[in-house]
Structure 1
């Protein structure tokens, strides 16, 4: 998995405006997770731990109809958005 970083997409927002977007760090965080660096992944992009279950539930709901999928998806989506916005604000404030 060492070569995974070679395939990461650059942030267009960062290239054009010199400022990170709300998605910056997601690919690197996923790479860190795949390498077993869980704390570093959280520090890179905290919402990774709500986005992965969100994507998993959405995927599983397509295959098996999960009883409370809509509620679970809504809660995880709202939580993800809150974490993304808060971490973006903190990143912009302290960097």
Structure 2
């Protein structure tokens, strides 16, 4: 299974880059309060928050199991996290099935 995950991440290298960046940024923020995340371009230009503002804060609150803090940072996190997880798992499942089919055909 680990081989399939590594092969999947090699083929879908953009996932690897995004997961690596956000994983590193969130770990640094949680462990040492170092902020390396890219600021919201919309808020920087206009001064108003976009619908995605607070998502990282909400995700970190979810990692800490602080449900109310996640809701107050951005309630949309409760819809986006399950949707992204389902999409990535579905894509990985299809990749796994293609790999199994190609092994059986050879």
Same fold (TM over 0.5): yes
Q: CA RMSD in A?
A: 1.7
Q: Specify the structure having the higher radius of gyration (Cα).
A: 2
3-state SS in 2 of match to 1:13: helix
Conserved? CA contact 1:4–1:31, under 8 Å: no
Query: Pick from 26, 31, 37: which aligns with 1:8?
Result: 37
Give the number of the structure with larger relative contact order, counting CA–CA contacts within 8 Å between residues 6 or more apart.
Answer: 1
Unaligned segments of structure 2, at least 5 residues? 1-29, 95-106
Once residues 50 and 13 of structure 1 are traced to their aligned partners in structure 2, the CA distance between those partners, rounded to angstroms, is: 22
Matches within 5 A, 1:29-68: 29-65=58-94
Change (3 A) 1:57 1:9: same
Question: Tell me, what secondary structure is at the counterpart of 1:24?
Answer: coil
How many corresponding residue pairs? 65
Query: 3-state DSSP class of the match of 1:7?
Result: coil
Offset at residue 15 of structure 1 (A): 1.4
2 CA distance for matches of 1:16 and 1:4?
A: 25
